Structure 1
Amino acid sequence: MQTLDTFDWIAISVYFAILLGIAFWVIRKKEDNTEDYFLAGRNVGWFVVGASIFASNIGSEHVVGLAGAGASNKLPMLIYEIHAWIVLILGWVFLPFYARSGVFTMPEFLEKRFDARSRWVLSIFSIAAYVLTKISVTIYAGGVVVSALLGIDFWTGAIATVILTGIYTVLGGMRAVVYTETLQAVLLVIGAGILTYLGLEKVGGWSSMVETVKPEYLNMWRPSDDPDFPWPSLVVSSTIVGIWYWCTDQYIVQRALTAKNIKEGRRGTIFGAVMKLMPVFLFLIPGVIALTLKMRGELQWDSPDEAFPVLMSNVLPSGLRGLVAAGLLAALMSSLASVFNSVSTLFTVDIYKKLRPNTPEKKLVRTGQIATVAVVIIGIIWIPIMANISGVLYEYLQSVQSYIAPPITAVFLLGIFHKRINGLGAYATLIMGIVVAALRIVLELVRGSLDPDGILFYLGDMNFLTFSAWFFLFCVLFAIGTSLLAPAPTIEKVENLTYGTITEEEKRKNKTSYTTSDIVISILVLAIVVGVMVFFNGK
């Protein structure tokens, strides 16, 4: 492991000076109202929307975790990184409904489509999910990166980064988040691209790498009876998680809602989808390169999650190493900043404002800032518990998301595509979903002490992808069944919020919100996704 030298520190210092300059500029421009603080005044262009979507998604847990998956024979996890086609679904299918409803948050949309009960449940569920899947994972990954790069202990690195990110997020709000994320996305792509190129040169090219790890290692498709990644369950479960994450989750959708209009928002999602094609080559392949060098005795690391920072410190030259280190820190900070802002939006708009509707705008902004600080502390406390659930960080993230996603995905999809689904169906499905997800996590933690022949052991030990696929089907049937026990929703609850009830005027508006080039680029993205699926078949 090479330590950073003077040129590296100069590169890192320049990056942070630029970042703080942008944050300071934004903080001076911002206004003390909720639309500016939480949605950047709804005045952001497509380039910034797309870069922000990409940077929010690609945090250090992706950089560290995806490279770890590449270095530990978990290549099927790659399917979560070719979800560019689902990002397109956000822009083409979901965004028009969200934009027409004029909402700030996803729980607020559920209230418009169903009732206040669903809004409450999703608000609390989402905040809990952020602690479980985003804040703690990002802080943990950041600690791994910072301690490996800077030679300091894990907790010092993790907490220092959290505090620095928290400061500009609390002060600058969403505008600070989206503009700093644009810089971070550019830096991360350039840095990781150079690392992949130099890493492939070091191993003697692609064919030499494949010769060392063997072609079957690069197969993302396992047999249907594979104990870890059966391909049918992998395809179904990853799609369910993808729709939840990209199309219904506040963390991502909030970026599209900052756009000036539907046209800019959709174009932002298309640009985000194009960028989403890159992580396969920028983060997963370096993990395989690191494994190749380890198999040849040229590189040493203990945990697969260390593959990316160790490769980076040994392959990159002085100065450039510091720039990529800054990119890794940028990834950590952009993810944290995004989730901090999303949590404060959810808590302030969906919980606090509902309880105290007459609160002045300035106080609502202050409440969001306090909520951010509180949730950071909870995330730090959760890290030691998280370490017990799964060995590889990326697998932990996907397993927990597989339990959280099915009820939310079912409610949003049915809400938009099935006008008979009502408030009772949505509310009951979300409550049932929370109970089942919590039960599965508990059973997974304690399964060693359960009777191997019992039903509880079976539920706790079932492959997480298979569990998620069956759980989603159950949620859909449960939502339809419970909806039929109560009257159909009124016209106010479905008009312009479900397919089949859109007015002619809204249809005309939607047709003017895209061009032929938007359609062509979207089709091209779909073709590349299929190409990647075919390429990684181990032959």
Structure 2
Amino acid sequence: MQQLDNLDWISISFYFLLLAGIAVWVIRKKEDNTEDYFLAGRNVGWFVVGASIFASNIGSEHVVGLAGTGASNKLPLLIYEIHAWVVLMLGWVFLPFYSRSGVFTMPEFLEKRFDARSRWVLSIFSIAAYVLTKISVTIYAGGVVVSALLGIDFWTGAIATVVLTGIYTVLGGMRAVVYTETLQAILLVIGAAVLTFIGLDKVGGWGSMVDTLGPEYFNMWRPATDPDFPWPSLFITSTIVGIWYWCTDQYIVQRTLTAKNIKEGRRGTIFGALLKLLPVFLFLIPGVIALTLKMRGELEWESADEAFPVLMSNLLPSGLRGLVAAGLLAALMSSLASVFNSCSTLFTVDVYKKLRPNTPEKKLVKTGQIATVFVVIIGIIWIPIMANISGVLYEYLQSVQSYIAPPITAVFLLGIFYKRINSTGAFYTLVMGIVVAFLRIALELVKHHLDADGFLYYLGDMNFLTFGAWFFLFCLIFMVVVSLLTEVPDREQIVNLTFGTITEEEKNKNKSSYNWVDVVVSIFIVLIVIGIMIFFNGK
């Protein structure tokens, strides 16, 4: 890898100055109330909402990992990157219910639809999951990227990034997060687009790349008998994980709740869906380019995860290289800022305010700031543990989503689509789901010590995608059966919170919140997704 030169450092310094300027401007504008601190005063426009959704999703581990997918024979994982149609579901299906209920958090929505028990389970589980997966993985991957790019040691890179991000997240709250993310999204898209363009030119175009790797390499659809990525399980489980991540997870949904109104929120998701189509071209293709150049003997790297940084440092001219490096740092910081803010929101609104309901607004904001500081400290403590684990466990963390998502997705989907689902069904499905998820993780770790012919070994050894699909079906059946065997929900409590109970007034209000342009752009996005699925079929 080539080291950064003076012109590159000027680019990086310019980025940080711009970031600092935005952060200071936001901090001076903010007000001391929870709506401003956690939801940016619910006054954000569609462009910022969409850019924030995109920037929250794209972390440095995402950029590096997706290019690594392109540089190794794991193209089926591309399906997780064409979830633009699931992002549309957030705007068209879920957001109207969240907006009508006036909630700050997803667990709060579960309390309004069901009861306080479901809220507590989802709150505690979400906070633990964020700290153990999102924060730790992002910090670890970020430390690796920063040390590789800037030539400093892993610890300095990781801690500097965490502290810097923590400062503007604590001081500026959600408003600082969404506005800095808009800058970061723009920078990341421009930088990666330039890299893709120069890379394709270097390999002699798409056709030349296909000639080198063979058309079969570009097939994302493996047969149903494939041991790693059977296509039916891949499609079903990726959709379940997609709905959980994009439509029910605080980390993403909080961005849409910052919008001025439902119209701006929905347009934000449509814009976010449009941006979500970009990673395929901006990060996956550079990985394929890097592999092509390696096979031709023009580029050298050891691990597939090094593909993006090595390609960037070797192909881009001085100055531009620094700009893309700043884009990678931006990706890391935007993901960290998002998860820091989501954690403090969940803790303050769903735990602290629930225990102390009469706490004044100013005190709640202070609590949110202290919670963010604690999350930052826990993240730093977690670094040595993450630094000592192998790449196998890093991949393993991705599969954990296939175990966490089914019960939560089932509760939200049936909760909105089926008014007969009650609080007992939802609560026991969440508890059962968490127990089964941890059981599967434990069995996966100890399966080598189990009887190879036994049921427990079969459960621990089953392909994670196949397990996710069957587990989701089990959650749906379990919740319906428990609900039907117990009390009927009170209609007054669930009015406007399920499809079967929306009032005419709310239906009319929802119809006036979109026009033909929103519908046409949404259909266009779905057609592009179908086009990508057809294009990557190895023919």
Same fold (TM over 0.5): yes
**Which moved further from structure 2: 327-336 or 398-407?**
398-407
Q: Hey, what does 1:113 align to over in structure 2?
A: 113
Q: Hey, what does 1:503 align to over in structure 2?
A: 503
1:286-301 matches, within 5 Å, as 286-301=286-301
CA contact 1:148–1:310 (8 Å) conserved in 2:
no
Residue identity in the other structure for 1:422: N
1:231-380 matches, within 5 Å, as 231-380=231-380
Q: State the shift of 1:407 in Å.
A: 0.4
| Distance verdict in 2 for CA 1:346–1:243, change over 3 Å | same
Q: State the shift of 1:232 in Å.
A: 0.2
Residue identity in the other structure for 1:179: Y
Q: State the shift of 1:449 in Å.
A: 2.9
CA contact 1:33–1:361 (8 Å) conserved in 2:
yes
Q: Hey, what does 1:523 align to over in structure 2?
A: 523
CA contact 2:162–2:380 (8 Å) conserved in 1:
no
Residue identity in the other structure for 2:24: F
Residue identity in the other structure for 2:516: T
Q: Deviations over 1:51-84 (max 9, x none)?
A: 1111111111210111111111111110000000
Q: State the shift of 1:376 in Å.
A: 3.1
State how many pairs are aligned.
538
Q: State the shift of 1:396 in Å.
A: 3.5
Q: Hey, what does 1:433 align to over in structure 2?
A: 433
Query: 2: CA distance between counterparts of 1:445 and 1:377?
Result: 28
CA contact 2:85–2:526 (8 Å) conserved in 1:
yes
SS at match of 2:44: coil
Residue identity in the other structure for 1:391: V
Q: Hey, what does 1:447 align to over in structure 2?
A: 447
SS at match of 1:500: helix
Query: 2: CA distance between counterparts of 1:377 and 1:285?
Result: 36
| Distance verdict in 2 for CA 1:470–1:277, change over 3 Å | same
Q: Hey, what does 1:512 align to over in structure 2?
A: 512
CA contact 2:94–2:247 (8 Å) conserved in 1:
yes
Residue identity in the other structure for 1:365: V
Residue identity in the other structure for 2:392: G
Query: 1: CA distance between counterparts of 2:218 and 2:154?
Result: 32
Q: State the shift of 1:388 in Å.
A: 4.8
Structure 2 residue ranges without an equivalent (≥5): none
CA contact 1:65–1:392 (8 Å) conserved in 2:
no
What fraction of aligned residue pairs are identical, expressed as a percent? 83
Residue identity in the other structure for 1:319: G
CA contact 2:443–2:459 (8 Å) conserved in 1:
yes
Q: Hey, what does 1:465 align to over in structure 2?
A: 465
Query: 1: CA distance between counterparts of 2:381 and 2:473?
Result: 34
| Distance verdict in 2 for CA 1:75–1:465, change over 3 Å | same
| Distance verdict in 2 for CA 1:390–1:7, change over 3 Å | closer
CA contact 1:290–1:307 (8 Å) conserved in 2:
yes
| Distance verdict in 2 for CA 1:392–1:311, change over 3 Å | farther
Q: Hey, what does 1:93 align to over in structure 2?
A: 93
Query: 2: CA distance between counterparts of 1:502 and 1:157?
Result: 51
| Distance verdict in 2 for CA 1:108–1:389, change over 3 Å | farther
Q: State the shift of 1:495 in Å.
A: 0.6
Q: Let me know the Cα RMSD of the aligned residues.
A: 1.4
CA contact 1:305–1:392 (8 Å) conserved in 2:
no
**Which moved further from structure 2: 322-331 or 139-148?**
139-148
**Which moved further from structure 2: 170-179 or 146-155?**
146-155
CA contact 1:273–1:525 (8 Å) conserved in 2:
yes
Q: State the shift of 1:176 in Å.
A: 0.1
CA contact 1:19–1:180 (8 Å) conserved in 2:
yes
Q: State the shift of 1:310 in Å.
A: 1.1
Query: 1: CA distance between counterparts of 2:123 and 2:422?
Result: 18
Q: Using structure 2 for the length normalisation, give the TM-score.
A: 0.98
Residue identity in the other structure for 1:193: A
Q: Hey, what does 1:142 align to over in structure 2?
A: 142
Query: 2: CA distance between counterparts of 1:120 and 1:389?
Result: 33
1:365-444 matches, within 5 Å, as 365-382=365-382, 388=389, 391=392, 393=394, 395-444=395-444
Q: State the shift of 1:132 in Å.
A: 3.3
Q: Hey, what does 1:27 align to over in structure 2?
A: 27
Query: 2: CA distance between counterparts of 1:416 and 1:398?
Result: 27
CA contact 1:389–1:396 (8 Å) conserved in 2:
no
Q: Deviations over 1:301-356 (max 9, x none)?
A: 22211111111111111000000000000000001000100000000000010001
Query: 2: CA distance between counterparts of 1:221 and 1:285?
Result: 17
Residue identity in the other structure for 1:293: L
| Distance verdict in 2 for CA 1:90–1:450, change over 3 Å | same
CA contact 1:144–1:306 (8 Å) conserved in 2:
no
Q: State the shift of 1:494 in Å.
A: 1.6
Query: 1: CA distance between counterparts of 2:454 and 2:315?
Result: 51
| Distance verdict in 2 for CA 1:9–1:392, change over 3 Å | farther
Residue identity in the other structure for 1:122: L
Query: 1: CA distance between counterparts of 2:288 and 2:446?
Result: 33
CA contact 1:50–1:270 (8 Å) conserved in 2:
yes
| Distance verdict in 2 for CA 1:43–1:52, change over 3 Å | same
CA contact 1:444–1:460 (8 Å) conserved in 2:
yes
Q: Deviations over 1:21-52 (max 9, x none)?
A: 10010001101110000000000000000111
Query: 2: CA distance between counterparts of 1:364 and 1:530?
Result: 46
| Distance verdict in 2 for CA 1:446–1:153, change over 3 Å | farther
| Distance verdict in 2 for CA 1:462–1:385, change over 3 Å | farther
Q: Hey, what does 1:173 align to over in structure 2?
A: 173
Q: Deviations over 1:164-198 (max 9, x none)?
A: 10110011000000000000000000000000111
- For the pair 1:10 / 2:10, whether they are aligned, the reply is yes
**Which moved further from structure 2: 297-306 or 94-103?**
297-306
Query: 1: CA distance between counterparts of 2:451 and 2:377?
Result: 36
Q: State the shift of 1:518 in Å.
A: 0.3
Q: Using structure 1 for the length normalisation, give the TM-score.
A: 0.98
Residue identity in the other structure for 2:149: L
Instruction: Return structure 1 stretches of 4+ with deviation > 6 angstroms.
Output: none
Q: State the shift of 1:453 in Å.
A: 2.4
Structure 1 residue ranges without an equivalent (≥5): none
Residue identity in the other structure for 1:161: T
